Amino acid sequence: MFKKILIANRAEIALRVVKSCKEMNIACVTIYTDIEKDYPHASAGDESICLGDGPLSDTYLNQDRLIALAKELGVDAIHPGYGLLSENPSFAQKLATNNITLIGPSAENMLLMGDKIASKAEMERIGVPTIPGYHGANQDSAFLLEQAKKVGLPVMIKASAGGGGKGMRIVKSFDEFSEALTSAKSEALKSFSDENVLIERYIETPRHIEVQVMSDSHGNHLHFFERECSIQRRHQKIIEESPSPALDSDLRSRICASAVMITKSINYQGAGTVEYILDENGAFFFLEMNTRLQVEHPITEMVTGVDLVRQQIEVAAGGKLNLTQNEISQRGHALEVRIYAEDPDNNFMPSIGTIWDVTSSSLNGVRFDNGFVAGNEVTINFDPMLSKLIVWDSNRENAISKMNICLDEVAYLGFKTNREYLKRVLSSKPFKAGNITTNFIRDYEKELVKVELSEEAIAKGIATYLYTKRFSGGSEVKQVHSKKQTPWSYLNNFRNI
């Protein structure tokens, strides 16, 4: 087993990895930047190293610097979390060259599954269904238009190396194709240094289903069932759940078996997620594979009772998976919401500011993966996700009810978040009925509009907060006054929380 792990990430995911390391009696090193010196992860490790100031390329994305630091500190392995360097094959290869273990798959797996064209060709080879379309090497504009016409409208142009909705365009008229292709290629080149695209049939009412997988180096490949991630904004997930309300036992069995067939065929190792599109007729198609731990892995942990980070570490150290497929089952229902520093009522624009306070939930069956405390500055330097709130209950209806209660309890005071917006989605009739697709936010835009509170309701909310906090001698009142906040501006700030 490893003696020391460097966590090449930040905020809540760094804290999550620290937790498993401590439970496994493995020393860990956390890293942070100047602006994060008071963030919880900055002091969470047995050793914590400041990377100084500057752009991400000088800090969290500086591969050579992280490797030099790992060697200096006698680190056995690096856990990349998600995002940043977690799916970077160059980093994986450099670590292997320097005899440092990456807690993740091989560079070869990353290269194959990170290329949408190559991965779809591999899926066709092994018999996994893919969305009809073209994903070849010929990138001539006239040829791509011809292929799009073979697929039929509507079609999607998608960056081969892309993700997060970048380099993606939906075409509903062939007259728009040329302009959309140019735009997609330009954005893909800027974002991924690769302008290659693929053409796919656009499924108009899709659901996004993903399967958690884990493989060791001894030929064992397991799935940990599915997650539904259809509630998205800008092609990024904001609410996830497990089990999916769309799957019956037969469909669940087939889609999970498909994911395991993929890991076996490519000799995968470590944690990964196979993502699928589910159409309105119940047909599923391979979308992509994320060769890392997912943001939403906690809901799988909640319904299966398995510590996925621990499993990751054990198989990276050469161990065998200590479970069989028959020992893994889904129990109850789990929901996760991502709390973002953003204003959903202003086109989801990021918000910044100082956190006055962070409140948590008192209910059982709740997990709050949070990377911030009062006094921390929220800036535009990093992703706007503040935390993940996860609940478990015996069934979906109870889990939704519990999540709404928890969202009343959990708040970041001092700036706008999407907390109230999440409650609107969860409380909507279509969501409660399980009638969700990746177009949910767009299709129910009018129903999800903010309902303005009366001044009386806002005043009661402030009074309740002030009463329950009791102010610890008035320190928070002093903080408000030190920022030259009038009672009226304080009320306005509360209205925006």
Catalytic residue annotation: 292
The Cα angle at residue 465 between residues 462 and 468, in degrees rounded to 5: 145
Of 4, 57, 105, which is closest to residue 315 (Cα–Cα)?
A: 105
